[in-house]
Structure 1
C-alpha cells in the first residue's frame, strides 16, 4: 500500500505539472457587487481541488462520526437488553420458586433500566394482586395499559383484579374491550360468563353461551358447552319462576324439554309452574309420565309429596308397583314403597317390602334405620338394635340425602345444579351412603 500511495502521489504531481504548463494564463473572477480579481488558471485549479477535498473530508468525517455514535448507541442498547433479559429471567425463576421478594427486586431493577417495560409492570402487578395490594396492582396495570392500550394480557390482568375485589361491572367493561379487539376470544367469553352468573343475569348468560357454543372448536368442547347451554336456560327458567314470571318460566322449561326430554330439573320446574297455575292434575301427570320414561327417583320423591298432599296414596302405590314391575331389581323404588307403607301405618306391607330388598352386599343406612323402626313396632327389640347399629351414622330419620353422580358431592337438599362440580341434573338419592359428605 505504501508504494502504491507514493506512485499515485507522484502521478498526481505529474498531472498538475502538465496542467500548469498548458494553463499559464489568468482568469478574471468577478465578485457580485465587488471587485474583479485576476487569478492564474493553475491556482484556480488548485483552489478548486482543495475546496473539493475539504468538503469531502467534512462529509466523510460527519458520516464516520454518525456511524461511531450509532454503533456506540447500538452496543449500549444491546448491553441494556441483555441486562434486562437477565433480570427478567431471574424474576421469573424467583416467581416459580415462590420467592416474591427476589422477583420484585429484579423487576424493579428492570424498570430502572427500562421504565416502560410492560412485562415487568404486569408481573409486579401480579405480585401486588397476590398480596391483596389492589391499589398498587391497579397502578402497575394501568401504567402498562397506557403504554399499550390494546394489549389483551393487560386487559385480562385488570379484569382479574376487579373480579378479585368484587367489582363486577368494571370487570365486565375490560372483558368487553377484549371482545371488541377479538370477538372470538373464548377465555374472555368464559370469564364474562362467570361474572354474569355471579350477577344472576341469566338471560345475558344464555345469549353469551350461544356465542361460546358457536366458537368452540372440537366436538368434545361443543358437546360440553351444549350441555352448559341447557343448564343456563334452566337457570333462566328457575329465576323467572322465583320471580313469579310464570309464562317465561313455562316457555323456557318446555323449550328445554323439546330437545332434552330427560332433563330432570326442567321437568320439576315445569311441574312447579303448573302447580302455581292451579293445574295440579297436569303436574302429577307430567311427573308420572316423566318417571315412567326416565326412572328418576328424584321425580318419584316429588310425585310422592304431591299425591300424599292430595290424599291419593293408592295412586302412588300403583305407580311404585308399576315401576317395580318394569325393574324388579331396583332397590330404591322398593325402598320408597316400603317407606310409604310405613308412613301409612301399613306395617306388615312395609316390612315385607323392605325385607325383600336385595342390596347386593351394599350398605343402606336409611334402609337399616327404617327396618329398625319396623322391628320396634313388631316388638323385636334385639333385631331393632342390630338394625339401628348398622344405621348409627344417620342423623335425620327417613330423610334420604342426595349425591352428585358426577363428583360424589353429598347434600341434604335437592338442587338442579351441583355446587361442587357445577354440573346440572346430576343429583340422585344416596341410599347406600357411598357419596362423600359436604
Structure 2
C-alpha cells in the first residue's frame, strides 16, 4: 500500500468521523467494570473501538509473522544440519565400503554425535564393528536403535545376526520371536529361528517352524528346497526317536521318507539300524543290501561287515560279495570292500586279486594303497609293501612330504605362494611344521656324585 493510499484512507476516516460526530452530538456512558465507566460522544466511542480493533488485529498479525519467521528459521537450521549429517554419513559409508575402517569409524561417530537418534548411522556403525569382530559394540548400538524404533525389521534382523555371531543364541531366539510377534508370517525370521533350533538339536521345534515356512513358500525351486528341508528334519526327529527307544515310530517315519525320496541315503541306513536294534538282523541285511543296490554307497557295506562280524558269520558276507560280484563284476566299490574283508579274514591271495583289479581300474587312494601294502607285508613282499606305503603317505623317492596351508589346511604336493582354497599368500608350510617348531629338546641334567651313589645303593 502506497503512502498516498494511506493518506487518502486517513482523510476519509476523519471525514466520516466528523460526519457521524455532527449527527450524534449526545454522550454515551460505557461500563467496563462494576462501578467503573467512561462517558464520551458516540462518534468518539465508535472511532476508538475501530482504532482499538485495528491495533489488536495488527498486533496479532505481527505475532503471527514473527512466529512464522521463527519456525522457518528453525526448519532451515534443522534441514541444514540434516544435510550436513547426511553428507557425513554418506562419506562414512563410502569409506566403509572402500575398506578404510579408521576413517569410516571417525566419520560415522561424528555423524552419530550430531544426530544420536539416526537409525541408519547406528546400523552402519554396527556393521563396521561386526566387520572388525567387535560384536559387543555392535549389539550395544543396535540395541540403542531398537529402543528408538522398536518395530524396525532392519534393526531387529541386524541384531539377530550380531547375537548369532557373538554366540548369544538365546538372545537371537528372543529377537526372532519379537519379529514374529510383529509379522507372524515373516519367512526370513522363521528360517532364522529354524536354523537356531537345528543348531541346538531341537528338531521337533525346528520341524514345526519348517511347516510354517512351507505354507508360505511359493511354487518352483524354492518349494522343492523347503520340502527337502522338511524331510531332513523329519528324519532327524525319527533318528532321535530311535535313540530314545521308540523304534516302531522311527521305522514308520524312515519308511515314509524312503517312499517319498528313495535317494535319501540316511533313511536307508537308519532303517537298517532300527531293525538291528530290534534284533532282526535279517531285515537289516535286506535293507542295507537293497540300499547298496539302489545307491551304491560304501556305508551299506561297512554296516553289513559290522553286522556279520558281530554275528560271527563271515561266510555269509563273503557269499554276498561273491554273488554280487558275479552280477556286478565292474563295481569297484564292491570289489574294494570285498578285498578289504578278505584281508581281514587272512585270505591274502583273494584280497590281492580284488584290490589289484581296483588299482588297475585307475583308482589311487591312500586307503587302497594301505590295504595293498598290508597284503604285501603279510606275504613278506617287502619291496611291494614299501612302495604301497609310500604311495599311501604321498612320499616320493626324494622324500617330499608335501605342504599344508596354515589357514585352511589345504594340501599341496609342491609349495605355492598363494593358497587356491582360501586365497592366503605365504601360508603353505611343510606338513607337521607346528609340531616341529614347538618341540623342545630333552634337557640333559648333570648327575652329581651323591645322586650316583644313591642310585647304586638302590
Q: 1:24-423 residue pairs with structure 2 within 5 A? A: 24=22, 25-32=24-31, 33-35=35-37, 37-39=39-41, 41=43, 43-128=44-129, 136-217=137-218, 219-357=220-358, 359-378=360-379, 380-393=381-394
Change (3 A) 1:138 1:364: closer
Change (3 A) 1:347 1:180: same
Alpha-carbon distance, 1:335 to partner: 1.6
Instruction: Extract unaligned runs of 5+ from structure 1.
Output: 395-408, 411-438
TM-score by length of 2: 0.75
Structure having greater relative contact order (Cα 8 Å, sep ≥ 6): 1
Deviation track 1:270-318 (CA, whole Å, cap 9, x = no partner) reads 2222222222222112212222233322212211221233233343234
Change (3 A) 1:376 1:15: closer
- Is 1:17–2:30 an aligned residue pair? no
Alpha-carbon distance, 1:178 to partner: 0.6
Distance of 2:305 and 2:337 partners within structure 1: 9
Instruction: Extract unaligned runs of 5+ from structure 2.
Output: 396-409, 412-458
What SS does the corresponding residue of 1:262 show, helix, strand or coil?
Answer: coil
Deviation track 1:2-26 (CA, whole Å, cap 9, x = no partner) reads 5xx5256336525643663465132
Change (3 A) 1:106 1:386: closer
Deviation track 1:8-61 (CA, whole Å, cap 9, x = no partner) reads 6336525643663465132432222445624153x3453343223212211221
Task: Check the 8 A contact 2:180/2:189 in 1, yes or no.
Answer: yes
What SS does the corresponding residue of 1:31 show, helix, strand or coil?
Answer: strand
Change (3 A) 1:349 1:21: closer
Q: Point out the more displaced range, 219-228 or 156-165.
A: 156-165
Aligned-pair RMSD on alpha carbons?
3.1
Change (3 A) 1:15 1:161: closer
Task: Tell me the residue number matched to 1:422.
Answer: none
Distance of 1:240 and 1:165 partners within structure 2: 32
Distance of 2:12 and 2:353 partners within structure 1: 137
Deviation track 1:137-160 (CA, whole Å, cap 9, x = no partner) reads 444333222222222222233333
Task: Check the 8 A contact 2:217/2:223 in 1, yes or no.
Answer: yes
Task: Check the 8 A contact 1:262/1:290 in 2, yes or no.
Answer: no
Aligned residue pair count:
393
Deviation track 1:60-83 (CA, whole Å, cap 9, x = no partner) reads 211211111111011111111011
Alpha-carbon distance, 1:330 to partner: 1.9
Distance of 2:310 and 2:28 partners within structure 1: 128
